[in-house]
Structure 1
Amino acid sequence: MNMQEQLPTEAHGAEDELRQDIVTVLRTIYDPEIHVNILDLGLIYVLDIDPQGNVEIEMTLTAPACPVAGTFPSVVEARVAEVPGVQSVHVELVWEPPWSIDSMSEETRLELGLL
């Protein structure tokens, strides 16, 4: 299941509103090489938020040799930390499962001519 399938369609409480606010921010962070936001690109594997506003994100990159591998997770961490209600953020870079074109949202694949 990709991240897009896990997203709530509407907010029902404080935690859901915080999730939506974080999702909105993630959609403003773009992969520097493909120029698609990291959520629709399928780079976010896990977004967990506890009731206190502590956020855990597991993300990947399009390739292990990506030139931003050393810095991009901290960029994501800093941007999510700016969301009101977020108390702390931890971003873990993971390589399993490996990213593939199938990780992208269908809309993104269509926009990029991959469908």
Structure 2
Amino acid sequence: MKKRITAGLVLGLLILAALPAQTGQDSSLEGIWTGKDEIGAFHFIFQGNTLFMLSRNTVSVGTFSAGGGKLRYTVQKQYDGYQWNTGKNDILDLEYLFSGGRLILVFGGDPLSLEKVN
């Protein structure tokens, strides 16, 4: 399982590097953020308007728009530990805020506190 996640992470980073760089609406999100909850670790990489996310056993890459505490993430490719699924275009609407140097993402009422790595 760990090898599959690592392979998914590497493939996701390659896809992320190949995507054109564009500017997202909130440049303070730019960079690598990491955190964990009672279930597992989360890693988010914001680059331009591209978001790469690794959470538990899933890797996904897509585009996002953010501003005014609202973030919309459109998943374009997702790796579930076994294969890449494309064309999903699942949309996740999140809320976010910055507090004490941390990024707080809210998924349907559940906050996730992230620390900036770079």
- TM-score range for the pair, normalised by the shorter chain length: 0.3 to 0.5
Structure number with greater CO (CA < 8 Å, separation at least 6) is 1
What TM-score, normalized to structure 2? 0.36
Say which structure is richer in helix. Answer: 1
Say which structure is richer in strand. Answer: 2
